[in-house]
Amino acid sequence: MTRRRKRSRPRQSSVRKRHPGRPRLRLARDVLLIATAYVVIRVGVVETHAIPSGSDEDTLLIGDHVLTEKVTYRLRDPEPGEIATFVYPFREMPAPLAVRFFLRNFLGEISGGPTLLIKRVVGVPGDVVEIRRGVLFRNGRAVPEPYLKTDAGADWGPYIVPPWRYFMMGDNRHDSADSRYFGAVPREYVTGKAEVIYFSLAPTTCAKHRAPILYSQGKWYCSGGGEEKRPGWDFAPAPAWRFDRRVRWSRTGKLVRAAN
């Protein structure tokens, strides 16, 4: 008698069938992780700030992109001479502290909301700040300011900086809206310390008149007001789409140093 051979069952493949919805779930998870990491870093570690005006010339020019870190001012208070960012206007928001902190630091540049400004710290709590004959005085002593575009500005003060507030001023004193106009900055509104210019892009229009920049007979002019030669216009302005010609390589990577 011949034995019947048992038919062997085909082996099942060890490779599991992929569920059609799993790639989408993985993608959603990755996007969520990236977004969470971005928010944590943006709110708690570093932030970027684009310079829109000439209030800090020649230290910071229009088109500079500055990287500011937020760890230092959690460990200590701001010191005179440092360049810091802060939220303006100084108003309370009807929200818990954590939500208010997120709105100020992450959504602060949305139109209609608070604005993120950058200025130099010239006075700390208890200091007496005064400007006399174009020179800044702090506690009765003249402050050397080699970084100024012109002089320290018109006579102003004396002003005693209140507790938990900081007196901020732009380096271009004649064209800067700062603590001389809106008062000293509350400590909780100071968000970060400027560290480095990580990128710089020359403007194609004059910020003051919103008109094109022109070059004629070796001089720079603003076509809206005849404004002559401003810092950073070191080559013929190119159209907005000529990105390669507008980059200011000499300023990219420059450290923003505090005054001694």
Say what angle helices 97-106 and 22-44 make with each other, to 10 degrees. 90
Q: Are 166 and 82 in contact (CB under 8 A)?
A: no
Domains defined for the chain, CATH in brackets: 33-123+164-202+246-255 (2.10.109.10), 205-238 (no CATH)
* 178 within 8 A of 120, measured Cβ to Cβ: no
**With 90 as the cut, is the pLDDT of residue 154 above it?**
no
140 phi-psi bin (left φ>0, alpha ψ -120 to 50, beta other): left
Q: Tell me the C-alpha to C-alpha distance, in Å, between residue 55 and each of 3, 28, 117, 169.
A: 99, 43, 10, 9
Q: Which of 6, 13, 119, 229 is catalytic?
A: 119
- Annotated active-site residue in 13, 17, 53, 55: 55
Tell me, what amino acid is at 118?
I
Rounded to an integer, the average pLDDT of 122-141 is 95
Is 254 a residue of the active site?
no
Confidence band, pLDDT 50/70/90 cuts, at residue 160: very high
Confidence band for 219, pLDDT divided at 50, 70 and 90: low
Catalytic status, residue 55: yes
Q: Comparing C-alpha atoms, which of 235, 253, 251 is closest to residue 59?
A: 251
Query: What is the rounded CA–CA span in Å between residue 168 and residue 120?
Result: 5
For the chain, give the mean pLDDT: 77
The model carries a pTM of 0.71
Residue 92 has pLDDT above 90, yes or no: no
| Sign of the dihedral through C-alpha 218, 219, 220, 223 | negative
Burial class of residue 168, CB neighbours in 10 A (0-12, 13-18, 19+): buried
Q: Are 183 and 237 in contact (CB under 8 A)?
A: no
